[in-house]
Amino acid sequence: MEANMNKNMTIIGVQMDLGADRRGVDMGPSAIRYAGVVNRLESMGFSIKDIGNIPVDRPNQLVSTDHHKYLDQVVDANTKLAEAVNKEMQEGRFPLVLGGDHSIAMGTIAGVTRHVKNLGVIWFDAHGDLNTGETTPSGNIHGMPLAASLGLGHERLVNIGGFAPKLKPENIVIIGARDLDAPERALIKELGIKVYTMHEIDRLGMARVMDEAVAHVSKGTDGVHLSLDLDGLDPHDAPGVGTPVIGGISYREGHLAMEILAEADVLISAEFVEVNPILDRENLTAKVAVALMSSAFGDKLL
């Protein structure tokens, strides 16, 4: 274990599937807990407090506002999550958020950036999550959290936690991208966001990608947040996700990435999202999530 890693960790679940509008991902936190996350982290010397799940209000029918599905409910849950993350960080604890769909990143980042002025973010994902109400092909808010955290999009999403923007483009690295919408590609170029697509990972190798990514998000920042969408991995290794895209990061590459991140000792918060046990095989994806967490937080074979 790295000497500076915060051993006081709080687990916060968010049973959110409204951002994806596909049932099942709301069971992700339960699946990850069932896969033994608490025992695994406690065995590594962490003091774990599990505060349960953030309540999510579920309407009986689809509600769409300004090209955003379930806007009220997503804003409400993320506001509560931001408050919970803020409270745990005030107490000097490391927030580990379990999803749920990726829309919950807005709440996690809102809570963390109450404490960290310049937050670096490593965004493991097959997708860019940089859509807004003007560019979204679906209205699903789980495709918008990175844009909202940058201050782009619907004012209610942008202002979760009461302030905006939360992030600066130069402090973000996206890793594993292989399914970007045309407006997202344009925005990435316009803002100069650093992206390592699967093409770069294949050409450079994961070790070099992670070395460069860690250096990038550590420069001038006060800490790094890991936002890991399990669809960043190849569906062969993580089948239980709502939007699988073939040709992703392998299980071994994922572990190597997390181990390099642990060695850098820069993480102050993390979330693991988009585990959907309904679409999974024998809870495999939740088990992969727990294994990746242990590597990210310093577990080693020797």
State the catalytic residues.
102, 125, 127, 129, 142, 229, 231, 274
Contact predicate 106/18, CB 8 Å:
no
| Distance, CA of 175 to CA of 296 (rounded, Å) | 15
| Distance, CA of 126 to CA of 149 (rounded, Å) | 18
Who's near 288: CB < 8 A, 6+ residues apart? 230, 233, 237, 238, 251, 254
Residue 287, token pair as written in the block: 């088990």
Contact predicate 260/211, CB 8 Å:
yes
Could you report how far apart the first and last alpha carbons of the chain are, in Å? Answer: 11
| Distance, CA of 171 to CA of 158 (rounded, Å) | 18
E-strand ranges in the chain read 8-14, 47-54, 64-65, 68-69, 94-99, 120-124, 172-177, 194-197, 224-229, 267-273
Residue 246, token pair as written in the block: 């073939």
